[in-house]
Amino acid sequence: MIQCHSNLDAVPRLDIVYKPGRVRDIKVLSYRNVGSVTVGRYDVAVMDIQADSQVCVRAFSRVLYPANGRGGARLYRLVNGLFMRRFLDGYYPLRLEFTVSYPERRLELISVKPGAQLGWNVRHDVGWVFMQGRFEGQLMTQMIFEEKPD
């Protein structure tokens, strides 16, 4: 997984937090317009954030899980999230854009949630899925894949 967090709020400290047990080997690839960045076991602390800031992080992430299929189909569920931008007791709008690449020889995309809707764009073709949009609150995405026969 590679993530870039851009246009962060100009605050003294911001934490990018990952679910324990789902990520490992977090590494900061680059950053700009921040004072310092500290990597923890499941988080990245960003200090002294200025305008036009960005932090890019790489980590290994477990997001693909077996799912039960009908008629013996071998299905897999890819889950991303919760995505949120939380401050004190509320949520603020967040713009999210991501691409998932998968081995088209081994997997076929069956479904994507959330689907395309006002403010949320979903595009896909063989081997990739792209999602982009703005939301406020919490967002979790899910894709279902079926394993192709040998």
Task: Give the model confidence (pLDDT) of 88-142 as tens digits.
Answer: 788 888 888 888 999 999 999 999 999 999 989 999 999 999 999 988 899 999 9
Is the pTM value of this prediction over 0.85?
no
For 48-74, how does the pLDDT look when each residue is reduced to its tens digit (9 = 90+)?
A: 999 999 999 999 988 888 887 676 779
**CA angle at residue 72 from 80 to 131, to 5 degrees?**
20
DSSP secondary structure, 134-149, as one string: EESSEEEEEEEEEEPP
Residue 15 is predicted with a pLDDT of: 92
Number of residues assigned to the chain? 150
| Strand 107-113, strand 74-84: pairing | unpaired
